[in-house]
Amino acid sequence: MSSSAAVVLMAYGSPGRIEDVPAYYADIRSGRPVRQDLLDDLTARYRRLGIEDGNPLNEITERTRAALQEELALPVFSGMKHWTPRIADAVETALAGGAETIVGLVLAPHYSRLSIGGYRAQLQEALADRAELLFVESWHDEPGLVELWAERVRDTGAHVVFTAHSLPARIADEGDPYEAQLLETAELVAKSAGLRDSSFSFQSESPTGEAWLGPDVLDHLEALHARGVDRVLLAPIGFVADHLEIRWDLDTEAREKARELGIELARAEMPNDDPAFVAVLAGIVRRALSLRSNA
C-alpha cells in the first residue's frame, strides 16, 4: 500500500449549532432563494432534536473517521459537502501532509449524479490535479454492507420497509443508477436475511416545486395498513448514520404516522461507527489502492 496515500472521507455535514442553520440551509440551496417559512421549519426541527450547541451527525462522522484511520494505518480526513470541515479543507490538509494519492470515499453507498456526483465535483475542484485521485463511485452491493443490514433485519417478524433519501424524479429520465442501486441493495439484504415480506419506499423529500421519487414512506405506511400489515421494521439502507433524516423523518414523523394507523413501528440501528462497518469501509479503501497498484 502506498505510504503517501490518504483518505478523504466525505459526509453530508450538519450545522454545528442552532445559529448555523441559516448558513447551512443557504449552502444546501447553493444560491437559490431560501423561503423563510422553510428555514423556520428546519430550525424548529433541529431545535426539537436538542441540537443547540453540538450535533450528533458530525460527532459520529468524527468517530468513524478516527476508527477508519486506526484500522487502515493511513491518514483519514473528513470533508463535509454542506458544512465544515469542507471537502476542500480535507484536501488541503491531506496535500500538506504529503499525500500523493487520495482515495475519495463518500459515506453514502448509492450513486446519483445529484448526490455522489456533487461530492466528486467538490473534491476534484479542490484537488486540481495536484495528486492522484481514486474516487469510489458507489458501494451499494458491498458484501459486508449487505451482511451488516441483513443482521439487523434477520429474524424479525415484522414487514421490513427499506428506505432511502428521495431525489427529484427527473433523474430517472437521465438514466441515473440511483434507484436501481437502492433496489439492488434492498434485494440483496432481503435475500441474505431470508425475508419473506419486505418493500421499499423513499423518504425526506424536499418541497422544491418538482416531482420527487416515490412512494414516500408516510404514504407507504398507509398502503401497508390498508393491506393489513400491523408491524413494520424500517431499514434505512440509503444512509449510514443517525442524523436529522433518521431522527426526525423516521423516528418522529413516521412513528407519529404509524401510531395514527395503529402500526407497531421499529427502526433498525444505523451502522454509525460499528467496528463491522468500519471494516467494510477499510476494505473498500484497500481495494481501491490495490487495484491501482495492480494496474
- Min dist. Cβ of residue 72 to ligand FEC (A): 22
Of the two residues 171 and 289, which places its CB atom closer to ligand FEC in the complex?
171
List C-alpha distances in Å: 101 to 81, 85, 224: 21, 20, 49
Of the two residues 69 and 203, which places its CB atom closer to ligand FEC in the complex?
203
The answer to whether residues 75 and 7 touch, using CB atoms and an 8 Å cutoff, is yes
- CA torsion angle for 267, 203, 135, 142 (degrees, to 10)? 40
Cβ neighbours of residue 210 closer than 8 Å, sequence gap 6 or more = 168, 169, 170
Distance, in Å, from the CA atom of 173 to the CA atom of 176, rounded to the nearest integer, reads 8
Tell me how many degrees the CA angle 13-14-16 measures, rounded to the nearest 5.
125
Residues 105-124 that bind ligand FEC (CB under 6 A): 108, 114-115
Choose the binding region for ligand FEC from 87-95, 224-232, 242-250, 254-262 (rule: CB under 6 A): 242-250
Residue 244 sits in the site that holds ligand FEC (CB under 6 A): yes
165 bridge partner residues: 203
How many residues bind ligand FEC, per CB under 6 A?
17
Residue 171 sits in the site that holds ligand FEC (CB under 6 A): no
Among 12, 77, 149, 162, binds ligand FEC (CB under 6 A): 12
Among 208, 214, 230, 291, binds ligand FEC (CB under 6 A): 208
Residue 42 sits in the site that holds ligand FEC (CB under 6 A): yes
Query: Of 179, 143, 163, 180, which is closest to residue 277 (Cα–Cα)?
Result: 143
Residues in contact with ligand FEC by the rule CB under 6 A:
12, 14, 25, 28-29, 42, 57, 108, 114-115, 165, 167, 206, 208, 243-245
